[in-house]
Amino acid sequence: MNYDLDTKDGMNNAVKWTSTMFDTVNDGGVWMVPRSMTMVRINKKERIATIVVGFAPDPSIRRVIEAMGWTVVVE
């Protein structure tokens, strides 16, 4: 499956995957991204994702969450 964020299909696939994953996390819960050890706190009511950057910053996380229509806060 294409996850190239610079293509329409790739971004759509990434948005779909991330939205599905967000659905599995409780409101106020945290998603840990293993590849970068980035923590994403999910506020479903306000549609705000707070990103605490890990050891390997990954700007694609923010791009996808913003493409979902969420507000992103970086700490």
Q: What is the pLDDT along the chain (75 residues), one digit of tens a residue?
A: 889 999 999 999 999 999 999 999 999 999 999 999 999 999 999 999 999 998 998 999 999 999 999 999 999
Token pair in block for residue 63: 């791009």
Whether pTM exceeds 0.85:
yes
Sign of CA dihedral 35, 52, 40, 66: negative
